[in-house]
Structure 1
Amino acid sequence: MKNIFDNVYFTSILNAISDGILIADGQGKVLWLNHACENLANISRSKIIGKTANTLENQGVFMPSATKMVLNKQNTVSTVQTTVQNRKYITSGHPIKNEQGKIELIVAHARDITEAVRTNSQLEETQELLKRYSQEIIKIRQKNDFVASEHFFMGKSPAYLSIISMVDKIASTDTTVLITGETGVGKNVISNRIHQLSERCHEPFMEINCGAIPESLIESELFGYKKGAFTGANSEGKAGLIKMADKGTLFLDEIGELPLHLQAKLLQFIQHKKWLPIGGTEHQTANLRIIAATNRDLLQQVQEGKFRSDLFYRLNVLPIRVPSVKERKMDIIDLLQFNLKKYNKKHKRECKFSKEVLKNLQAYDWPGNIRELENQVERLVIISAHDEIRLEDLPFQMQQKEKTAFNLNKYEKGKSLTDILETIEREIIEEAYAEFKTTRKTADKLGITQSLLMRRVRKYGSGAKRIR
C-alpha cells in the first residue's frame, strides 16, 4: 500500500482534484488524503493520517464520518458532513473489497456544498417572500375587482367585516371549505372570491348545483363516463367536472341535495384524489380544491340519516357561515345605492331613492337576502314613473307606515277570532283599494292575484261593494 502513495503521478492526480479525497484501510485508519481534503478539515495532514475514523469523528473533524458508516453498513454510503468551520460537504464512502469480500480500503470523496446550500436557502426565502407578495397583489387586485363588480363585498357592519376576514385567511390555504347560510346570501360569490384569492386563481373554477340536476344525471356530470358506458351516452365519452376542474377549484352548491350513493363516491375522491368514471375500469386522479355550500342544516341531516357523517366532517374542515341581510342592517343603504347605480346604467335611468323609501327598505327584513334586494332595486328602477322612487312604488309588504297599537275593543264583543280576522282582512282590502284605485294594483301591492282579491270582495259582500 505504501508503494501506491509514494507514486508521484498517482498522488499528483489526486491532489489536482478540487474535491476532497481520503483513503483509509479496512479498519478505518486514515492512510492518505489529498490537499483539498486537508483544506476542508482545516488541520494538517499529519494530525489526520494514522487516526481512526471514530477518533476523527469524536474530535469533530468529520461529522459524521463516511468511513465509519461504510464499516458499519459494509456498503457504499452518502451523507452530508459539517466541519468545525460550519461548512457543509456531501460525502460518499466507497468500500474496496478483496476476493473474499473483506474490505481492504475505503475511499471517501467529499464535495463542498456550502455555497449551494446557502444559495438554495436564500432561494427558498426569496420564493416564500415572492409567494407572500403575490398573495397580497392578488388580494389587492381582487378587492378592486369585487368592489367594482360584486354587490356583496361592501359594508362596515361587524358581520360583514368578520366574514371578509375569514374568507381572506381561508383563501391562502388549500383545505376543503363548507359555506352555509340562507338562500340568496351570496354563497357562490364567496366561493368565487376564495378561488380568486388562492394560488389556484389562474386555474379552472367549475360550479355545479347539486339540487338543480336530476339524480340520474348528476353522477355523469361530476365524474364523467367512458365511451359506450350507457345507452344514449356520447360516443366519445365525457369528462366530468372533477376532471375539468383539475388544478383548480370545484364548487358544489347545495351539497345537501347530493344523493347518498354519490356522497360515498365523493368522499372517496376527497380522501384519495381519485375516482372511477361511469363505465371505466381504471381510476383517474385530479388535484383540486373542493368548496361546498348549503342552506340546509347538514348536522341535522346527518342525524336523520340523509347525509353521511364522514362526508360532513370531511367537508366541515373550514366552515364559513355567510350572514343574512337582516344581520347586516348597517350595510343595506350601501347595497341599495350600489345596485341603484348599476341598474340606472343598465336601463338608462337616473333614479334616486326618497328618504322615506330608504328608511323603509332599511327596516325591511329581506327574507330573500341580497338576491331579493338586487331584484327589487331593478324592479323599482324599471317601474318608477319618476326619477325619485317613492313610497307608493314599493310593494305593499315594504310600505312600513307608522304602526298604531292594536285595539281589540273596536270589534264587537262575542265575535270569534275568525270573524275578527275577516273584518281586519276586509279593512285592509278597502284601505289598499282606496289608495291604489284599481283591483290589479291593489292585488299587486297585497301580494295576491287579482282573482283571489275579487273572491274576497264577493265574500265580504256589501262591506266591499265599492271595489269593482
Structure 2
Amino acid sequence: MNQNMLTIEPKYLFTIMNYMNKPIYITDKNGMILFVSDISCKLVGKKKEELIGKNVSQLEKEGIFKPSVAKIVLDKKQNVSVIQQVGEGTGVTTGHLILDENDEPKYAVTLGYDIPDFVGHSSQIRNEELESAFWFYLHELQKLKAKLVRTKEVPSFIGQSRVYEMLKETIEKVAGVETTVLITGETGVGKTLIAERIHHLSGRKDRPFIHLNCAAIPELLLESELFGYQKGAFTGANANGKNGLIKLAEKGTLFLDEIGEIPLYLQPKLLQFLQNKTYMPIGASQTVKADVRIIAATNCNLEDMVKEGKFRADLYYRLHILPIRIPPLRERKEDIFCLLHYDLEKFNFLHNHKRTFSTKVVEVLQNYYWPGNIRELENIIEQLVIMAKENEISIQDLPKRLLDSTFEQEVPISLNVGNSLHEVLESVEKRMITQAFHHHKSTRDAAKALGVTQSLFMRRLAKYAITKEEK
C-alpha cells in the first residue's frame, strides 16, 4: 500500500466513509449496528438513532432490508456478495468479515452498490486502492482505540449524533480564539473533558492547563489559591510567599470548574482579571499582569443566581461571551451505544476480561434516563465488567435502580374497576412528579422539565408527600 496513505488520521474514518457516498453498515460480532452512513439512512427512511444499537436480525424481520447481509457474513464467517432489497430499491451489497488478532469474528462491514455500477466496476472494487485503504483504516481505527486505552488517554467525548457534531464544531471554533468560555451542563456530562479539548485544540496546547474546582477549596483559602500571596501576608503564610494558580497557568489555560461557588467578596477581583488581565496577590502593593485564558464551567443556572443576588451580573456577562451548553445523554441518545461499547472495551482491557452485552442489556442501557450522564455510564459499565457472573453481561447483572427505572417506563396505565378518571390522572401525575424529583438536582430543574412552575411543582410534592427517600 502507498505509504502516503499513512498521513490520513484514522479518527477521520467515519467522515471519510460518508464521503464515499455508499450505503455502509458496520456491526459488531453479534450483529449490533455500530455505524451507518448518511446515505443508508436516506435509503431506508430512518434516522441514525433508529438504526444504531439495533440488531440486524430484528431490522431484517421489520423489512428494513432483505436479507441482512451482515447476518449472512457472521453466520457463514466469510465475505459474500448478495442481491439485497433496501426499502423500495434493489442493489448488490458486499459483506466483509473483520477478524481480531485471534482470527475470531470482530466486525461485519457491508457496502451497497447499484447493480449497473457493481457490474461495470466489480473488478475495480476488488482491486483499487480505495477499498484497500478503507480496510486499512478500519483496522487502524481499532489499533488506535486500543492504544489510547493502554495509555489511559481516554477520549470519552465520542459520538455521531447531530447534537454531538454541532457541539464538536462549536468547540473547534472557540478553541481558535482567546475569549473566555463558559461551559454549562448537568453533573457528569463531561465539562472538564470539553475544557481540556478546547485547550488542546488551541494555540496554548503546549502550555499549562490548570484545573481549579472552586467548590473543593474552602472559601477562606480560595483567594490565596487563585491569586497567591506575598511573604508575610498573613499569620501562618509561607515565609517565601506563594504563587497562585493564575501565575502557574501563565501562557496557558486556567479552568475554573464550579464557578458558581466563587464567593461574592472574591468576584470583583476575578472580574478585574477577566477585564484587564491583571490581579493583585494577597499582601502585594501593585498589580501583576498575566497572560492566561479562562475557561469556566458550572451546573448551576447563573442567570437565576444573578436575580437572587448570589452572583454578580457584570461577572456573569463577562463570562458569558462564548457559552457552550453540553447536552445531557438523554438529548443525544444515539451516542449512548457508542459510549457503551467504548467503555466496555476500555474496562475489559483494564480488568483483563472479555465481557459482552446481551441484546436485552443494551436495550435497557439505551433506554435508561442517565441522570448522572457520562460519569454514571462509565461507573456502571466498570461495575458490570468487574461484577458480571458470566462473560455475557445479562439483565440479572444490572443495578436495581436501572431495572426499576425501566419498569416504571414500561408500566401501562392501569384502569382498575372502580377507579375514576380523576384517580387515574392523579396516579399518573404522582408518578411523573416523583420521577422528575429524583432525576433532577433541583426542584427548579424538575419543574422546568415538566413544563410547570416551581411553585406548582412544590405544591404537588406536598400534596403527594413525595420525599427523596421515596422509591
TM class by shorter-chain length? 0.5 to 0.7
Give the direction of change, closer, same or farther, for the CA distance of 1:152–1:327 in structure 2 (3 Å limit): farther
CA–CA distance in structure 2, aligned partners of residues 244 and 411 of structure 1: 71
Q: What per-residue deviation string (whole Å, max 9, x for no partner) do you get for residues 409-441 of structure 1? A: 26899xx99xx99xx9xxxxxxxxxxxxxxxxx
- Pick from 159, 172, 175 the counterpart of residue 155 of structure 1: 159
Q: What is the aligned-residue identity percentage?
A: 53
SS in 1 for 2:310: coil
Residue 396 of structure 1: CA displacement? 2.1
Q: What per-residue deviation string (whole Å, max 9, x for no partner) do you get for residues 290-346 of structure 1? A: 000001111111111111111111111111001111111101011010001111111
- Pick from 409, 417, 421 the counterpart of residue 416 of structure 2: 409
CA–CA distance in structure 2, aligned partners of residues 210 and 377 of structure 1: 29
CA–CA distance in structure 2, aligned partners of residues 228 and 404 of structure 1: 66
Contact 2:277 2:290 in 1 (8 A): yes
Residue 195 of structure 1: CA displacement? 0.5
Alignment of 1:255 with 2:262, yes or no, is no
Residue 152 of structure 1: CA displacement? 3.2
Residue identity in the other structure for 1:328: R
Give the direction of change, closer, same or farther, for the CA distance of 1:193–1:326 in structure 2 (3 Å limit): same
Residue 283 of structure 1: CA displacement? 1.4
Report the counterpart of residue 275 of structure 1 in structure 2: 279
Q: CA RMSD in A?
A: 2.8
Report the counterpart of residue 458 of structure 2 in structure 1: none
Alignment of 1:382 with 2:386, yes or no, is yes
TM-score by length of 2: 0.56
Specify every segment of 5 or more residues in structure 2 that has no aligned partner in the other structure, as ranges: 1-143, 432-469
Q: What per-residue deviation string (whole Å, max 9, x for no partner) do you get for residues 253-300 of structure 1? A: 010110011110000111111111111112111111000000111111
Q: What per-residue deviation string (whole Å, max 9, x for no partner) do you get for residues 71-117 of structure 1? A: xxxxxxxxxxxxxxxxxxxxxxxxxxxxxxxxxxxxxxxxxxxxxxx
Give the direction of change, closer, same or farther, for the CA distance of 1:147–1:313 in structure 2 (3 Å limit): farther
Alignment of 1:286 with 2:293, yes or no, is no
- Pick from 296, 299, 303 the counterpart of residue 300 of structure 2: 296
Residue 232 of structure 1: CA displacement? 1.3
Report the counterpart of residue 10 of structure 1 in structure 2: none
Q: What per-residue deviation string (whole Å, max 9, x for no partner) do you get for residues 100-143 of structure 1? A: xxxxxxxxxxxxxxxxxxxxxxxxxxxxxxxxxxxxxxxxxxxx
Contact 1:147 1:154 in 2 (8 A): no
Residue 147 of structure 1: CA displacement? 7.5
Give the direction of change, closer, same or farther, for the CA distance of 1:351–1:228 in structure 2 (3 Å limit): same
Give the direction of change, closer, same or farther, for the CA distance of 1:274–1:263 in structure 2 (3 Å limit): same
Residue 172 of structure 1: CA displacement? 0.6
Report the counterpart of residue 233 of structure 2 in structure 1: 229
CA–CA distance in structure 2, aligned partners of residues 410 and 192 of structure 1: 58
Residue identity in the other structure for 2:416: N
- Pick from 341, 357, 372 the counterpart of residue 368 of structure 1: 372
Contact 2:157 2:193 in 1 (8 A): no
Give the direction of change, closer, same or farther, for the CA distance of 1:277–1:358 in structure 2 (3 Å limit): same
CA–CA distance in structure 2, aligned partners of residues 323 and 357 of structure 1: 24
Residue identity in the other structure for 1:295: N
CA–CA distance in structure 1, aligned partners of residues 254 and 412 of structure 2: 53
Report the counterpart of residue 357 of structure 1 in structure 2: 361
Q: What per-residue deviation string (whole Å, max 9, x for no partner) do you get for residues 35-85 of structure 1? A: xxxxxxxxxxxxxxxxxxxxxxxxxxxxxxxxxxxxxxxxxxxxxxxxxxx
Residue identity in the other structure for 2:280: L
Contact 1:151 1:338 in 2 (8 A): no
Report the counterpart of residue 166 of structure 1 in structure 2: 170
CA–CA distance in structure 2, aligned partners of residues 406 and 197 of structure 1: 51
TM-score by length of 1: 0.56
Report the counterpart of residue 244 of structure 2 in structure 1: 240
Residue identity in the other structure for 1:403: E
SS in 1 for 2:283: coil
- Pick from 199, 202, 209 the counterpart of residue 195 of structure 1: 199
Give the direction of change, closer, same or farther, for the CA distance of 1:283–1:387 in structure 2 (3 Å limit): same
CA–CA distance in structure 2, aligned partners of residues 211 and 198 of structure 1: 27
Contact 1:151 1:339 in 2 (8 A): no
- Pick from 185, 188, 205 the counterpart of residue 181 of structure 1: 185
SS in 2 for 1:161: helix
Structure number, greater radius of gyration: 1
Give the direction of change, closer, same or farther, for the CA distance of 1:404–1:181 in structure 2 (3 Å limit): closer
SS in 1 for 2:198: helix
Residue 406 of structure 1: CA displacement? 3.3
CA–CA distance in structure 1, aligned partners of residues 419 and 309 of structure 2: 52
CA–CA distance in structure 2, aligned partners of residues 279 and 208 of structure 1: 22
Residue 404 of structure 1: CA displacement? 4.3
Report the counterpart of residue 333 of structure 1 in structure 2: 337
Residue 397 of structure 1: CA displacement? 2.6
Residue 403 of structure 1: CA displacement? 3.0
Residue identity in the other structure for 2:339: L
CA–CA distance in structure 2, aligned partners of residues 165 and 411 of structure 1: 56
Residue identity in the other structure for 1:379: Q
SS in 2 for 1:409: coil
Equivalences for residues 100-111 of structure 1 within 5 A: none
Alignment of 1:392 with 2:399, yes or no, is no
CA–CA distance in structure 1, aligned partners of residues 240 and 418 of structure 2: 74
SS in 1 for 2:295: strand
SS in 2 for 1:320: strand
